[in-house]
Structure 1
Amino acid sequence: MIKSTFRQRIDARSLIVYRNIVESILLKGAGVLIGFLTVTLTVQYISVKDFGIWMTITYLTSWFSLVDVSFGNGLRNSLMLFFDTGDDEQAKKYVSTLYFLSGMVALLLCVVFGIIHFFLDWTLLLNIDSNQPALINTIITYTLLSFSIQLLLKPINSILLADQRASAVAGILFFVNLLIISIIYIASIVLHESLLVIAHIYNVVPVLVYGGVSVYYFRTTYSRLGPGITHIDVTLIPKLITVSGQFFFLQLISVIVFTSGGLFISYYLGSDSVAPYSIANKYFSVLPFIYGIFITPYWSAFTDAYLKQDTAWIQATIRRLNLICVATAGLALLMLVVAQPVFSVWIGTKIYIPTSLAIWLTAYVISFIFLSNYNYFVNGVGQIKPLVHASLAGIVLYFPLNYVLFRFTDAGATSVVIAGTIWNCYLLIVCMRQYRQIMTRLNHKPAVYALQD
């Protein structure tokens, strides 16, 4: 449809991006709806207290999922060069070596989590109020082990993204969420209320789906890239670790800032205070999620444009994305206006959402989407050292800022949102500055790009 309508106006790279956007809209749009229904079913199936506990566990496990993302981002940028040159042999070595690294990290995490289960009381560490602390500790360990196993299965996402097939990644996630909500619905009918059942559903389904998807793609579309022991190249490990190490650090910082809100709230206020924040965050995160549909394909597109030194396309794209951000900010303000009526219909009277929390989440969302444009560009071209240094300096102040807000103000759960908004604005300034510097020195040789920095 896009090609026939704008045949003379859209270049090949943009056409690929738009195709991914259109396909992803359907999949991720359905995913948003499923996400809301999943929350509703989960709250109805288990108590509000257990729901708050499960959200706390979810925030904890998201800290460890960054290992998969950081390794995958390093592979994603490298594979872009190999896809452009058709060097399948070198690509196969990188894929095999990445799976080897991911497997070693997954095994190490499984051993560590298995050992600390006998020595660490997670309920005390996370300030979780439960009359079954032994069960909660078991569920947390079980969930962490599941995430560790997923490290070995998710590099297929990076291969798809490097091949500019973001919609395929969205399709996998949609299928995972569809299975989860279907099983929760069945469980709510045939089984008694149980947090352990929820843990089984969320932990087992992704492992089965990603395992099956990986086997399918490596036997069909990417059979030429299928990982094998004989193709593991240990000499590539230092290069992968160097590139992935920087992405790892950035992801670590991002996870601490963007997904640790529930953990901070649980630590300072107790797990009972996590539920209102989780519900409000779920509502307002719709916009970053939808905007992610637009911005995700641009990572690899920026990489391709950088390799080919297409500065005109990059500048025009950034301007277009900023205009989309302005429109998205207007939608965020509209969501704020109708927030309380939506909460009443969606959740009912079981959970109260403060208006101040909704206001600051709106500010957080607006700052986040503007940051995404420049952050994706900087990550896509691989020039991330300045961002690493800036993040290191910023995170030193982030924890004290949260402490001051929680201890010396009446902001309550809103404290983490205020701190996160300040963080977004800080990084936006850093990334915009990096963007301008990159554009002024875009005469670097493409051949040395893939693993630099």
Structure 2
Amino acid sequence: MEELVSKERTRNYLRQIKGAVVYRAVAMGASFLAIPLMIGYLGQEQFGVWSTLLTVMSWLVFFDLGVGNGLRNKVAESLAKNIKGEAGNYVASGYTLIGLIALGLWVVVTLASYIIPWQTVFNTRAISEAELRFTAQIVSFFILLNFWVGLIGALLGAVQKTSLVALGQLIANMLILGLLLVLTRTTDSAISWLAMVYGVSLVSANILLSLWFYRRYPELRPRPSLDRRHVSPLLALGLQFFVIQLAVLVIFTTDKMLITQLFGPQHVTPYEVVFKLFSVITFIHALISAPLWSAYTEAYHRGDFVWIKFMLRKQLLIFGVIWLLGIALLLSSKAIIVLWIGQELEVSWSLLAAMGFFVLIVVWNNIYAVFVNGIGKIRVQLYTAVVAMLVNIPLSVFFAKYLGLGLSGIVMGTICGLLLAAVALPVQVHRLIGARIKEQIA
């Protein structure tokens, strides 16, 4: 029986990858096409402001106290143990809790928007204070609405339907591209219009996924509920995820703000273009690793460590292939950028090389992080993430400003912060698996 379950888990894993390949490829294509349209619509400086604003406002989603990830694990665990009623109770409490958090954040952010000196924050006079405030309010509203509606992504992961998360990204990106084409033909340059297009597209995609999911899984339909028996486990695990998310927030999203303050918003554009180009690597690995989170959860609670070790070995072989892809992308990157954006955008080899190494470190860490996330053993990841968070900004400023390395120095500071996890996570995973196998034998 266990062998049949293991084979079906593997077949489903491969199905999710195949589905996600198509969806994410088209989604990324739409995203790549949208970048030059946005730059052409807004200009380099306003696009730099937009990119930074979107990054800053996306920080709001990290204030879910880790409930989304905790919900994914608890629902997957309940379904693995065939306790569907318990899974439904976790869904109800999760949606209610996130809805209340989102509402509170919206009130706070809206009030704060009238106090924040937006032109000073983004170091620009190209956009009026009123326009920046209005744009920030639009973006925050839609991000917080999606903060709640977007819980569907955690539930799709819990039932091992991660390819549909990629479908949601496809729908959102295609809507953005289509509406952006309309904007460029019907309106003058306005960052607030772009914010509206982005928000409507993002929320619409998750609403469509939710309609499909709850028709397929009616027993998991959310209802108003804040049962302490289900809220407490979500928060106990979720708060650890929250600290990790907060650290990831600092590590991965402060670079644009540092560039804006140290060099000016126009320098965000080459950074964003290079980051977007090398995100192809993390995109490919996400296709492969995303279905494994809840698959590891199920396998771990069933004691199927043979399957877990098999999958980890496969991930390491795939990492070798990704290294080769990274080298090929680095060597051809300048030619790709000229074809994609145009020759007028100056990009240094040092920035390209630093970004290439950065994404490879991210992929390596993610191989092991997906496993510990799936089984909820995230204490080591939490500690390494906090260390990385504390050193990221000082190191980035040191490399960029005091050593004169510019944009590549910003990326190098982030790389240094990730190195501890690159060593500690593999050690933890091998010890965890070895200990559980010894327990089974005993």
Answer yes or no: same fold by TM over 0.5.
Answer: yes
Whether the aligned pair in 2 keeps the contact of 1:306 and 1:381 (CA below 8 Å) is yes
In structure 1, what is the Cα distance between the partners aligned to 2:402 and 2:187?
Answer: 45
In structure 2, what is the Cα distance between the partners aligned to 1:269 and 1:215?
Answer: 45
Counterpart in the other structure of 1:378 = 372
Whether the aligned pair in 1 keeps the contact of 2:49 and 2:122 (CA below 8 Å) is no
Q: How far does residue 369 in structure 1 lie from its aligned partner after superposition?
A: 1.2
Moved over 6 A (4+): none
Q: Which amino acid aligns with 1:174?
A: L
The correspondence of residues 184-263 of structure 1 with structure 2, limited to 5 A, is: 184-218=180-214, 220-229=215-224, 231-263=225-257
The alignment yields a C-alpha RMSD, in angstroms, of 2.0
Query: Does 2:30 match 1:34?
Result: yes
Greater mean alpha carbon deviation, residues 290-299 or residues 234-243: 234-243
The correspondence of residues 24-423 of structure 1 with structure 2, limited to 5 A, is: 24-68=20-64, 70-218=66-214, 220-229=215-224, 231-423=225-417
- Secondary structure (helix, strand or coil) at the match of 1:35 reads helix
Whether the aligned pair in 1 keeps the contact of 2:145 and 2:203 (CA below 8 Å) is yes
Q: How far does residue 194 in structure 1 lie from its aligned partner after superposition?
A: 1.9
Residue segments in structure 2 that go unaligned for 5+ positions in a row:
none
| TM-score normalised by length of structure 1 | 0.92
Q: How far does residue 256 in structure 1 lie from its aligned partner after superposition?
A: 1.3
In structure 2, what is the Cα distance between the partners aligned to 1:271 and 1:307?
Answer: 48
Q: Which amino acid aligns with 1:279?
A: V
Whether the aligned pair in 1 keeps the contact of 2:114 and 2:133 (CA below 8 Å) is no
Whether the aligned pair in 2 keeps the contact of 1:295 and 1:376 (CA below 8 Å) is yes
In structure 2, what is the Cα distance between the partners aligned to 1:320 and 1:382?
Answer: 22
Q: How far does residue 306 in structure 1 lie from its aligned partner after superposition?
A: 1.0
Whether the aligned pair in 2 keeps the contact of 1:123 and 1:137 (CA below 8 Å) is no
Whether the aligned pair in 2 keeps the contact of 1:17 and 1:298 (CA below 8 Å) is yes
Q: Which amino acid aligns with 1:222?
A: Y
Counterpart in the other structure of 1:449 = none
- Secondary structure (helix, strand or coil) at the match of 1:65 reads helix
Q: How far does residue 68 in structure 1 lie from its aligned partner after superposition?
A: 4.8
In structure 2, what is the Cα distance between the partners aligned to 1:138 and 1:375?
Answer: 38
Q: How far does residue 444 in structure 1 lie from its aligned partner after superposition?
A: 10
Which whole-Å deviations, capped at 9, do the CAs of 1:278-298 have from their partners, x for residues lacking one?
001000111101110001001
Counterpart in the other structure of 1:450 = none
Q: How far does residue 125 in structure 1 lie from its aligned partner after superposition?
A: 2.5
Q: Which amino acid aligns with 2:278?
A: F
Q: How far does residue 406 in structure 1 lie from its aligned partner after superposition?
A: 2.7
In structure 2, what is the Cα distance between the partners aligned to 1:25 and 1:67?
Answer: 30
For the structure 1 residues 126 and 47, does the alpha-carbon distance in structure 2 shift closer, same or farther, using more than 3 Å as the test? closer
Residue segments in structure 1 that go unaligned for 5+ positions in a row:
1-6, 447-453
